Structure 1
Amino acid sequence: MRTVVVATHNHKKSTELQRVIAAEGLQAEVLGLDELPAYPEPAETETSFEGNALIKARAAAGITGYLAVADDSGLAVDLLNGMPGVRSARWSGPDASDADNLNLLLRQLADTDEEQRTARFVCAMALVAPDGREWVVRGEMLGRLVLQPRGSNGFGYDPMFVANGQSRTNAELTPAEKDAISHRGKAVRSMLPLLREVLRETAG
Structure 2
Amino acid sequence: MNKRVLVLSTENINKINEIKHILRGLEIKVLSKKDVNLEDFEVIEDGNTLEENSLKKASALAEKIDYMVIADDTGLFVDALNGEPGVYSARYAGEDGNDKKNNEKLLGNLKGKSLEQREAKFLDVITLITEDKKIYTVKGECKGTIALELRGPSSFGYDPLFIPEGYDKTFAELGSDIKDKISHRAKALKNLKNTLIKILEDDIDEDSRS
> Scaled by the length of structure 2, what TM-score is found?
0.87
Partner of 1:48: 49
Higher helix fraction (1 or 2):
1
CA-to-aligned-CA distance 1:104-147 (integer Å, 9 cap, x gap): 11211122111111100001111001321001011110000112
Amino acid at match of 1:21: L
| Structure 1 residues 138 and 53, CA gap change in structure 2 (3 angstroms) | same
Q: Post-superposition shift, 1:42?
A: 2.5
**CA distance in 2: counterparts of 1:65 and 1:174, whole angstroms:** 37
Q: Show the 5 A alignment for 1:1-204.
A: 1-22=3-24, 25-38=25-38, 39-152=40-153, 155-199=156-200, 201=203
Distance 1:184 1:154, change over 3 A: farther
CA contact (8 A) 1:153 1:173 kept: no
State the 1:162 CA deviation: 0.5
Change (3 A) 1:153 1:191: farther
Q: Which amino acid aligns with 1:169?
A: T
Inter-CA distance 49–192: structure 2 relative to 1 (3 Å threshold): same
SS at 2:19 equivalent: helix
Give the percent of matched residue pairs that are identical in Structure 1 and Structure 2: 39
Instruction: Return the TM-score normalized by structure 1.
Output: 0.89
Moved more, 192-201 or 64-73: 192-201
Q: 1:179: Cα distance to partner? A: 1.9
Could you say what secondary structure the match of 2:61 adopts? helix
Find the aligned partners of 1:157 and 1:71 in 2 and give their Cα distance. 17
Contact residue 22 and residue 193 of structure 2 kept, 8 A = no
Q: Any conservation in 1 of the 2:145–2:162 contact (CA below 8 Å)?
A: yes
TM-aligned CA deviation for residue 199 of structure 1: 4.1
1:153 Cα shift? Answer: 7.2
Give the aligned residue type for 1:19.
Answer: H
- Higher-Rg member (1/2): 2
User: Which of 96-105 and 8-17 deviates more?
Assistant: 8-17
Structure 1, gaps ≥5 residues long: none
Unaligned runs of 5+ residues in structure 2 are: none
